[in-house]
Structure 1
């Protein structure tokens, strides 16, 4: 009996071990196939049903009318962000399929989720101090718009989704302006989880080179000192050296000094419209992988998987440093006197890195047209030291105010602040407040819409101190709060991705009052009679400017625009500052 009992226990143990090692997903990337939206969700549902320490959650709807999912993996059955943060765990958020024609991260994240849950290669140890959240498919509408004729620059996989979402937005330009339901609900879940590390997986069709995966890293100069040092001294060296130990080496995203990468490549600064730039506004270490479209799809998935696993291990191993550097970075931003709102690449500073490329060939003959074309000669690979430009210098700074005052009338902006967890109070009574206010002196519009907006590229302002009447319910926003960077980057009109640039305040750019040459005549004459000093100035202008003296409309305009008749709210930016 004892022998039978012992054998039974062994058999049960073997069954449990076998069950734990089974895979519950069916990926076919080796056959150049990436799953459909429904297959993706079904596989995550299967993992959810088999593991108590993982759950698939809906986070509102996307533009397609289908849910925005997150798949949360912990080492216990605890999925409350506040409780998880209280335990001192780091949070790693991974976003996939933002451009549905770039699906390698979808496959890689499914495989990683399956492997970590069944503890393949001891991966489950990552979960001791790190919670992993995966967005399986961000652009659901793009994934549903599946075709073999999307993404013309890639040959594999055979079918993919479309770059635009259901509302035809490029979702990686929408994180600040939030035209899409996808972005609105992403803002909410990002606020809820406050991830310490963020990864967005992409595919690029840039220059040809020997790497399967490249990285758009968090740009150090956009962070305060502690985080800048952590990025330069720990994060970037760790990510690149750890990747080199695997099958796939990592290189910075090849944003090259045209026309040949041999002239050097530059680090990019991602602003808040992009996912990683949005993450950086909250002192999160946000980054993007850019897998190389010219590599075979299995290589792209495997190299993306290697990066995800490596990043998860790095996050777990440096959990305390990551959390502490973020906290200190936030405090440094909150106590700073000035804030840089514009930068430019410093081409005098660079370091040398090894680069494995292919020789440029500008005289290749196109097999399609039979004519010369630009290309790369893959029979001539090279390994050379090239310049890497990774330093940006501030070109414009502001003095950080203590408060912003925002009239409640600008509801779309108020909604954005609420979604992002901004702290504010409201005025209890109508009141007059002395504030610094900006006037928009000059701005330029793009000639064609950019992701649904006529973005204001050039913005020039002047400032005035004014006493302005505010209403009960208007917002008083303390600037020195944890999300100070988000506040400044969105509410300062000249910041690179401000709400002003994205047309949230365009109603101020056209006047509501006006004057007619006939109707204003009586009031103009009355004003001159009642203001003798101004009348002297007006008459001096008539004498000194012959063209002005002959132009009736110009003279009335001079009186209208240089007196109390002028419309003070015209081109006046509505956000006031208190220092």
Structure 2
């Protein structure tokens, strides 16, 4: 029967996703491909509004029509990400943890504090929608840089192995560049705001000594001044640039708080 065939195909797909090595997480509409479908409707007209007396839109049920219209239903993968061995989500992100549990993601908690080399993402750029909807806004056009770092995780943090039937879901929600990721739905916005700063009066002397000890940073500063007129005219902007390159800069700012174990 068809039902048995559907069950068989679904079971095969669920098994295949366990070993799939990479996943698309964002897509773009392919406008070069479409099919024609019949659109049925009623002709629109205008008549005086009983409320305002001004012309209002209405659809004339006595004038049905049909027309052939293109239907675009083909998408191409825009961003494809290789699957890690595991993800680690710190327990403090409990809203995300709860959503993963609701969607039956298999996880286990670390039984002791552990230092692990992981791949990290840093959010380099994104665009936030101007208006909220249902207490959320959308972050789009996300750009990230990657690096490796030894991170100390705490007992109780969550390890998510990537050998399960939920792999596709996990990738789509935990990869920050995913169209429907938890980062896109602003669950991680707390990492995007700078919480620490400096006193210009105090940091000026520190910055001077830092530049003497780091001539490469001094060279980058001077090069930026040559190419950015507004930057060259702003002492505050230049001091902030040095601060961002210094060891005093807030290390977790813009660092995506979901980590990838890749080996």
Please indicate the TM-score interval, normalised by the length of the shorter structure: 0.7 to 0.9
Corresponding residue SS for 1:404:
strand
Q: Which residue of 339, 348, 351 maps to 2:32?
A: 348
Q: Distance in 2 between matches of 1:444 and 1:324?
A: 42
Structure 1 or 2, whichever has the larger Rg, is 1
2:97 to 399, 414, 425: 414
Distance 1:542 1:438 in 2: 25
> What secondary structure is seen at the aligned counterpart in 2 of 1:461?
strand
Q: Does 1:366 align with 2:48?
A: yes
In 1: Cα distance, 2:224 partner to 2:46 partner: 69
Structure 1, gaps ≥5 residues long: 1-316
Whether the 8 Å contact between 1:365 and 1:373 is mirrored in structure 2 is: yes
TM-score with structure 2 setting the length: 0.83
Partner of 1:424: 107
TM-score by length of 1: 0.41
Question: How far apart are residue 548 of structure 1 and its match?
Answer: 5.8
CA contact (8 A) 2:112 2:155 kept: yes
1:489 matches 2:175: no
> Residues 351 and 364 of structure 1: is their aligned pair in 2 closer, same or farther, counting only changes over 3 Å?
same
Structure 2 stretches lacking a partner, 5+ long:
none
1:71-91 superposed Cα distances (whole Å, 9 cap, x missing partner): xxxxxxxxxxxxxxxxxxxxx
- Kindly tell me: are residues 528 and 460 of structure 1, through their superposed partners in 2, closer, same or farther at Cα, counting changes over 3 Å? closer
Q: Residue by residue, what CA displacement relative to the aligned partner does 1:373-405 show, whole Å, maximum 9, x if unpaired? A: 444332222345443333222222222222111
Runs of 4+ residues over 6 Å off in structure 1: none
Aligned partners of 2:158 and 2:203: how far apart in 1?
37
Structure-1 residue corresponding to 2:160: 477
Map 1:521-540; keep pairs closer than 5 Å: 521-529=204-212, 531-534=213-216, 537=219, 540=222
| 1:326 matched to 2:36 | no
Q: 1:535 to 1:507 in 2, by over 3 A?
A: closer
1:395 aligns with 2:71: no
Equivalent-residue separation in structure 1 for 2:150 and 2:176 (angstroms): 20
Tell me the CA shift for residue 470 of structure 1.
Answer: 1.9
**Pairwise CA RMSD of aligned residues?**
2.9
Quickly say closer, same or farther: Cα 1:574–1:539, change in 2 above 3 A: closer
How many angstroms does 1:499 deviate by? 1.4
Deviation string 1:502-554 (CA, Å, 9 cap, x unpaired) is: 2221110112221111222343344344x253465268559857876664433
Q: Secondary structure at the match of 1:499?
A: coil
Q: 1:352 to 1:427 in 2, by over 3 A?
A: same
